[in-house]
Amino acid sequence: MAQSYRVARVSEVPPGAMKGVTAGLTPVLLANVDGTIYAINNICTHLYVPLSLGKLDGCVVTCPAHGSKFDVRNGEVVEWVTSKFPLRAEQLLKLKGKKSATTYKVSIEGDDIYVEF
């Protein structure tokens, strides 16, 4: 059975903004895209860096570590490991296979944001 967690207030995540929260023990990234709030796992699927430290551009969050980009609406990888490294390091970094981010159902009640999974 799914569990619902109150994670933030709508006013804390205005359009174009994102916020890292926890739902139970799960790190979650909330992102407001044109007034709709989406939730994906906050940990980059590449090497476990918080996506909330990155940048949100429209519906795409960019990981601050190696530049992977994820669509916050569905968790899909838009680009994988885009930063430039010396050739050998780049090959090693790309060895870890591309993996989409987990997304979560969001509901709004008044000014409260709930994440469910």
Q: Residue 70: beta bridge partners?
A: 61, 77
Smallest distance, Å, CB 76 to ligand FES?
15
Torsion of CA 51, 26, 48, 76, to 10 degrees: -60
> Taking Cα atoms as reference points, which of 5, 107, 38, 20 lies closest to residue 29?
20
Nearer to ligand FES, 103 or 113 (CB): 103
Smallest distance, Å, CB 14 to ligand FES?
25
Smallest distance, Å, CB 16 to ligand FES?
21
Nearer to ligand FES, 19 or 66 (CB): 66
Nearer to ligand FES, 26 or 50 (CB): 50
List interacting residues with ligand FES (CB under 6 A): 44, 46-47, 49, 63, 65-68, 81
